[in-house]
Every structure is written in C-alpha cells, then in structure tokens.
Structure 1
Amino acid sequence: MFQDITIEELRELRAKNEITMIDVRSPSEFEDSTVPGSLNIPFFDDRERAEIGTLYKQTSVEAAKERGLEIASAKLPAFVKQFGQIKGRKAVFCWRGGMRSKTTATVLSLMGIHVYRLAGGFRAYRKWVVETLETFELNPPAYVIHGHTGTGKTEVLRRLKEEGYPVLDLEALAGHRGSIFGHVGLKANNQKTFDSLLLEELHALQHAPYILFEAESKRIGKVVMPEFLVRKKEAGTAIRLELPVDERVRQIMADYRPYEHPEAYLEAFRQIKSRIHTPIAAEIESCLEKERFEPAIRMLLEHYYDPRYSHTAEQYEGAAQIELKAATVEEAVQGVIEAIKSGVPL
C-alpha cells in the first residue's frame, strides 16, 4: 500500500532532488496554483470534475462516486502508464489529500508502482506556505537596486543571476514588470503561486552572504510582497543606477517590445492618461496609435515616470546608498559587481 508523507519529509527529499511531485487535480486547478516543480497528471479533466461535482450536489454522493469510477476506469491504462514512465520516487497530491490522490496511490500500488501521498494535499501545503511567510526572517543583508524607469534594473539582476550572484527576482516571481504596462505579453501570477515560488527562492538564498533585489513597490501586478521583504528593502544598502535617457528608451523597447502588442499598450496608457498634462497626454496617445513608440516612451519618462520616481526616492534619503552612473546596462552590471567586490558595507 501507499505511504503518506508530511510537508517536512517532502522538503527533505526535494532538497536532495530525490522525489517528483505529481498533482492529480484538474488542469485548471493546477494552472491556478501548485507545488512548484510539480507535474500534472489529472485524475479528472475540468469537464469531468464539473460533471461529478454537479452529481454530488444535485443527486447524491453515490451517484457521483459511480460516475467517477466509470470515467476513471476507462482511463486507467493510460493513467498508470504515465506514472510508470516517471523514474525515481514519486508523491501525489490533490486538493486535501482526499479521494483523487488516495485512489491514484492505491491503484498504482496494485500495479506495482509505489508512490507517496502528501498528507493534507495542496491545502496543507498552502497553509504551510502562508504560515511560514508570516514568521519568516530573511538572514542575509540586502543590496537593493534603485533607479528611474528604464535603467535596466531587472536586466542587471538577470545578468548577475546568470553569473551566480544571489539574486531575488521579484518581477519574475510575480510574472509582472511592476508598471501599468507590466502585464503586457506576460502571464501574471496570482498570490498563491507568487508565495510558493517566493518561499522556494528564500530558502535557497537563506545562507547567502547577501542578496540582491529590485526596489519594488509593495504591490507587483496582482501580488503583494510580505511585510518582512518591505522592511528588508528599506533597511538594505541602495544601489542607485543612472543611465542616459537614450539608453533607457532603448532598454524599455528591448524589454517591453511594444511593437508586439500595440493595442494592449495603448489600452494600458489610457488608464493613466488623466494623470498627465492634457496636451502631452494627447501627443503620447497619438504616437502610440501610430506605433511611434520611442517618442512616446521618452515623453512618458519625462512627464510621468521620472517625476513619480523622484517623489518616491525621497523616502530613502539618509539610508546607505551607492550612486552608480553608467552609459549602458553592461557598464551597470560591472559597476554593481565592483561595488560588491570592493566590500562596500551593507
């Protein structure tokens, strides 16, 4: 028979890369949020789950069970084969460690395929994530990357991470660039997914000598940063990047690629149009309609983003700061590396 596994036991095995997590919930449940790194082998697809749920509510528990058995029976050979192709230790979970994961583990056991079942299912995992984040203490001191819109903060962090530096990329975890245009072309994560991914990253970085992350607002797209990260940002050593306006425009074009989603960017602009002086707003809108993105970006920087950033930057006056002027993002990356290597105190 199968064996239940706790969150703590699961974490130990995952830390050693000794187990594969398999989410047997429906594709839409998996898409909404799951244990990071899990595979999805659904016991029921979305339509089947809805049908069984309707029978459960409107007819009877027995009718729902009978229909579930009928559906599952027809799919068992293919279902078992999928699990058989996964090497090594395996653990399954559903919403609360109920019928779907129990039935999966039992059937697989009868077929000679041993799997663990996560006790309490995804609900228990989610509870653990929330409670852990509420009491989490991030040990390493922080370098916090500041700078006007377009100074390549995210790109600098991405390149540093590629070189092995301890980077916490909050925008990547949120699936959002953090601006009114930040969702375009990306799949924004919900709070459950963000929290799970964040906790995985935090555990990986907990013993680093320091961490680097961007000075994000508390809200990034659909998600909200936990309070301890906000405090870490405020207490960290600020590295304030400065790039020429031309380089900033180029960086925004490369990062946002407005020519791929012109209508979406125009729609997003109209959400902030009323906050910009009317003649300037009309000119920006005209440029976006004609897909003249570079002048539109330049005006947005001058008349919207830069004034807002200057106001926000005043909150950090008096904190430890490193001023870093660079001509390009490449120079900015090297400047951050040199600042760290020089032993600038945190």
Structure 2
Amino acid sequence: MNELFDDFKSIVVNNTPLIDVRAPVEFKKGSFLHAANLPIMNDEERHDIGICYKNNGNAKALELGHQLVRGDIKEKRVQAWLDFMDSNPDALLYCFRGGQRSKIAQSWMQEKGRKIVRLKGGYKAFRGYLLNELEHFNQQFKPIILGGRTGSGKTIELKKMQNAIDLEGLANHRGSSFGQKITPQTSQINFENNLAYRLIQKREEGLKTLVFEDEGKHIGTVFMPDSFIPVMSKAPLVILETPIDKRIEITLDEYVVKAQEVYESAGFTDAFKVWQESIENAMYRIKKRLGNQKYSEVCMLFKNALEEQKRNSSFDGYKEWVAYLLQNYYDPMYDYQIQKRSKQVVFKGSAEEIKEYIERVI
C-alpha cells in the first residue's frame, strides 16, 4: 500500500486532520491547521541522520535511522499515530517532501493493520499550493477595509460578518502598542498558511468581496503577503464611528478586564503583578511619541487606577486612564493616517450603518 493524495483544496475545505511526522524543529517553523506533530524522529535523531546522509549517503543514513528508531521507541511513536487515527479516522500523513519518512510511517502503520494515505509531495507541495492561492488573491476577491479609531469595535463587528477575515486573530496580535499577548505570535509561515486556508474556504462559500480590518504592512512580528499590500492599500475604506464612552468601555474590557483574566488563567504566581508590568512596559514603549509630560500623566493615571482596584476591586479607575490613552495617543495618530488616505474613504457610520452598507455593495 502506497496511496498518495494531492487534492489540497479538499483538505482545506474539509478541515482535514493531518499527521506531521517531521521533527519538532521543522514543525515549529511552519505547519498547517489541524496538523498534529507526531514525529518519526526527534530533533537530535534528525540531526545525526542528516550528518550521516551528508557524509555517507542515503543508504547509510536510512540504516542509522532504523537503528535509532526501533524497539520501544518505535512502538511508542507508532502508537501515537494509531491513537490519533482513532480520534481522526480521515487523517492524512505527511513529511517534508512526501518521501522516506512518511512512506516508512505509512508502512509501519500498515504493519499494525491501519491504512493511512500520505500527501503527495508532502509539506513542500501543500505549502506551495497555499502560497499560490495567496499570490492570486487580487484575481479572486475584492477587499473592503474596515477602519475606525482604537476601541471602536472593529474586531467585534468583523466577527459578526460571514465575509470577513480577522487578520489580527490569525496573527495572534491585537494590533496596537498594547497588542502583545501571553502566547507567542503566529510564525510568518503559519500566518500565511492560515490566511490561505481562510481565503480558500471563503471562495468555496461563493464569496467574492471580503472585509478586512485596517492594518499596516506588519501585524506585530508578522507581515502581510506581498500580493496583498498593493491591493489593500487601494481598497475602499469604510470607517466605523463609535461614541467615546463606548470606545472607553470596549478598550477597558480588552486591555484590563479580559487581559487580567487571561493572566490569571495562565497560572502566574502573581498574575496581577505580571499584567501590571506588561502595561507599564507598553506605556514605556510609547514614551517617545507621547513626550515626557504626557508619559508622566498617563503613568500617574494608571497608578491611581491600580490603587483603586486594590482598594475596592473596581475597574472604574481605569476609565480615565483609557480615555487619556485614546485621546492623547491613539486618536491623533489614527486621524493623521486617515487624513493621508482620505480618497479611499467611501463610507462612515455606526456599526449598523456599516453592516447595511457592506450588504448593499457585496
């Protein structure tokens, strides 16, 4: 049995589970949605076999591989694949190029009476397919950009739209100076792969107009694909207008209430202190743009809010701090950027008005 599969579109559309038998170091650089890293070799074994291959050729490297992965080690790794197949009977198998590692894994599973199909061309071929989808983005979709000041609720509204793609969510970043999260950002490769997944799925739903939040070339440490930048920079821009009191409420919930909950659930010994330090570090990063006086003022407001929360467990003290940040840091910066792109703006309105406008034009 040596079955191969190369209908990559069906993998994306069906969210097919995948077994990635590459070494952990390879998996960390980039993988696919719904893929589990169940390696046939660990990093050290892969390193040793690679040296052997370079010095002595394929036959000797293959021989060393079988020496390193045998007995209990082999049984445990095969059992991990079988356990995954028990929960995901439609799973497919791949290594880097669809060569020896996945072929050996396939044969070992067959010895246990379990058939599994492997990807033709492996990771490299599937990755190439996804990159090609990104490259032809402008030929398949018409983008609309959703803008608005910080705290206007853009992400909240995007999540309500069937034809929207949340780029910040894919990047695992909140897109601001306070946008860092506890969990690391998605790698560049994973960001591209996950974005391609979303595009393919939206296309198969019959959607041709997609809504994206207003982003720059970078979202934290990841950057937009080259094919996106010229298209997005000229796309029509709709501006979500939200009253300042609502913006304060949304920002307070994100930066303070939910953020503290995340730090607590992460199991830090002093979660409140760790969260406090993360905010103080974020404020220090914007010190130069704020200037010394405003930096001192915003730090004092934050200190007062901390003390109030400690005294009576209230978040109300943070409202003044959030308002100061919005009006003295975020708003001037955003308004300046929007002024430079005024020709792109095609509509401004409330959340409901934005929804009605987009429904009319798609």
* TM-score between both structures, scaled by the size of structure 1: 0.83
The separation in 2 between residues aligned to 1:277 and 1:73, in whole angstroms, is 61
Partner SS, residue 89 of structure 1: coil
Q: Which residue of 1 aligns with 2:358?
A: 340
The separation in 2 between residues aligned to 1:110 and 1:137, in whole angstroms, is 47
CA contact (8 A) 2:25 2:43 kept: no
After TM superposition, give the deviation of residue 127 of structure 1 in Å: 3.1
Partner SS, residue 247 of structure 1: helix
After TM superposition, give the deviation of residue 125 of structure 1 in Å: 2.4
Match among 48, 51, 56 for residue 57 of structure 1:
51
After TM superposition, give the deviation of residue 157 of structure 1 in Å: 0.8
After TM superposition, give the deviation of residue 117 of structure 1 in Å: 1.6
Identity %: 26
The one-letter code of the counterpart of 2:357 is: A
The one-letter code of the counterpart of 2:321 is: A
After TM superposition, give the deviation of residue 320 of structure 1 in Å: 4.6
Q: Which residue of 2 aligns with 1:309?
A: 334
RMSD: 2.7
Correspondence 1:256-267 to 2 at 5 A: 256-257=255-256, 258-259=259-260, 260=263, 261-267=275-281
Structure 1's unaligned 5+ residue stretches are: 327-331
Correspondence 1:126-275 to 2 at 5 A: 126-158=127-159, 160-161=160-161, 165-206=162-203, 207-257=206-256, 258-259=259-260, 260=263, 261-275=275-289
Q: 1:315 to 1:105 in 2, by over 3 A?
A: same
Partner SS, residue 180 of structure 2: coil
The one-letter code of the counterpart of 1:152 is: G
Q: Quick check: 1:284 aligned with 2:285?
A: no
Partner SS, residue 109 of structure 2: helix
Per-residue displacement from partner, 1:172-218 (whole Å, max 9, x unpaired)? 11111111211234541111011001011111223315222111111
The one-letter code of the counterpart of 2:290 is: I
After TM superposition, give the deviation of residue 113 of structure 1 in Å: 1.5
After TM superposition, give the deviation of residue 105 of structure 1 in Å: 0.3
Indicate the larger mover: 191-200 or 252-261: 252-261
Q: 1:74 to 1:88 in 2, by over 3 A?
A: closer
Q: Which residue of 1 aligns with 2:110?
A: 109
Q: 1:96 to 1:131 in 2, by over 3 A?
A: same
Q: 1:340 to 1:134 in 2, by over 3 A?
A: closer
CA contact (8 A) 1:138 1:202 kept: no
After TM superposition, give the deviation of residue 263 of structure 1 in Å: 1.1
Per-residue displacement from partner, 1:5-63 (whole Å, max 9, x unpaired)? 23xx232355356x53211234554344212122333334xxx4324524653897344
Number of equivalent positions:
327
The one-letter code of the counterpart of 2:300 is: S
The separation in 1 between residues aligned to 2:213 and 2:49, in whole angstroms, is 50
